[in-house]
């Protein structure tokens, strides 16, 4: 079954408008362990508290790619994955167990390219204190079908 996506109204969106945010519950150790298996990234800083403390981290940290995946989910909640033309992120801070991440997308530009109406979006993932964990950019096709 195809996933339903909320229609993005090209005509109504303006620079500075925000798409609906993705708010996630606090990160758990179980999520990190599951992501290790799903991603194949078994670096012990993500699941072994003793190892993470010895490495000077205090405790385990989330995979940066997990946070990027959540940012991608923020996009695909609004547009079909096939309409994403580019998606880039850079990691700015560590995400820890208990952090509740909110992913946001803000319209940074509207333009036409390759016959498509596109939005350039600024993305960010923040914790409950407002600390930015990951920042990014995306371009999506919002041409009416």
HEC profile of 8-30? CCCCCCCCCCECCCEEEEECCHH
Going from N- to C-terminal start, the domains of the chain cover 13-141
Q: pTM for the complete prediction?
A: 0.88
Q: Tell me what pLDDT residue 31 has.
A: 95
Task: Give how far Cα 125 sits from Cα of 1, 16, 47, 99, 106, Å.
Answer: 29, 17, 21, 11, 12
* Among the listed residues 123, 142, 110, the one whose alpha carbon sits nearest the alpha carbon of residue 22: 123
- Round to whole Å and give the CA distance between 67 and 80: 19
How many percent of the chain have pLDDT more than 70?
92
pLDDT tens-digit series, residues 34-76:
999 999 889 889 999 999 999 999 999 999 999 999 999 999 9
Q: Tell me what pLDDT residue 3 has.
A: 46
* Among the listed residues 94, 27, 102, 26, the one whose alpha carbon sits nearest the alpha carbon of residue 61: 94
Question: For the domain 13-141, what is the CATH superfamily, name and number?
Answer: Hotdog Thioesterase (3.10.129.10)
Low-confidence ranges of the chain (pLDDT < 50): 1-4
Tokens of 62: 């989330």
DSSP calls for 110-140 = EEEETTEEEEEEEEEEE-TT--EEEEEEEEE
The residues facing 85 across adjacent strands are: none
Distance from the Cα of residue 13 to its chain's centroid: 21
Q: Tell me what pLDDT residue 12 has.
A: 86
């Amino acid at each position: 079954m195809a996933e339903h996506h909320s229609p993005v109204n090209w005509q109504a969106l303006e620079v500075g408008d925000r798409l609906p945010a993705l708010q996630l519950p606090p990160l758990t150790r179980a999520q990190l362990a599951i992501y290790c298996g799903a991603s194949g990234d078994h670096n012990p800083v993500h699941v072994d508290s003793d190892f993470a403390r010895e490495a000077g981290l205090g405790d385990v940290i989330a995979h940066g790619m997990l946070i990027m995946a959540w940012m991608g989910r923020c996009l695909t909640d609004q547009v079909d994955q096939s309409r994403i033309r580019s998606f880039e992120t850079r990691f700015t801070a560590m995400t820890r167990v208990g952090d509740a991440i909110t992913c946001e997308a803000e319209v940074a530009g509207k333009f036409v390219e390759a016959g498509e109406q596109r939005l350039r979006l600024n993305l960010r993932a923040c914790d409950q204190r407002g600390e930015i964990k990951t920042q990014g950019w995306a371009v999506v096709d919002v041409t009416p079908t």
